[in-house]
Amino acid sequence: MAVELGRYNILVNAVAPGFMRTPMSFIDGVDETTTPDSVEWYVKRGKVPLRRTELPEDVSGTVVFLASRYCRYMTGQLLVVDGDMMSTLSSIPH
């Protein structure tokens, strides 16, 4: 899309957030980001290197940047905002 819309000066970027605490993280009334297994695996063992659960406000600054005048020459990009969990995925047993 960035290639097609660039001629019209339309920027096309995307944000890929990690698993975060939102109403969608609640399953059967349980916040899955706060279960003992989730806290042990992702926080304590460092599968999320920042060692905390992501919150919506952790992503909002990235979105504000993409919508601002400071982002006027970046297009065709995917910004991963996941506390660097992506770097630990290869070490998770399947």
Under a CB-based contact definition with an 8 Å cutoff, are residues 17 and 48 in contact?
no
* Predicted confidence (pLDDT) at residue 25 exceeds the cutoff of 70: yes
Nearest to 79 by CA among 8, 3, 21, 18: 18
Query: Model confidence at 91, in pLDDT bands (50, 70, 90)?
Result: low
Average of per-residue pLDDT across 15-39: 94
Q: Residues 52-70: pLDDT tens digits?
A: 999 999 999 999 999 999 9
pLDDT at residue 92 in the model: 57
Can you name the residues that pair with 84 across neighbouring β-strands? none
Tokens of 64: 């504000």
pLDDT at residue 93 in the model: 58
Spatial separation of the C-alpha atoms in residues 70 and 80, rounded to whole Å = 18
Spatial separation of the C-alpha atoms in residues 39 and 7, rounded to whole Å = 47
pTM, full prediction: 0.81
CA atoms within 13 A on the CB side of 54: 21
Q: Which domains does the chain have, with CATH numbers?
A: 2-91 (3.40.50.720)
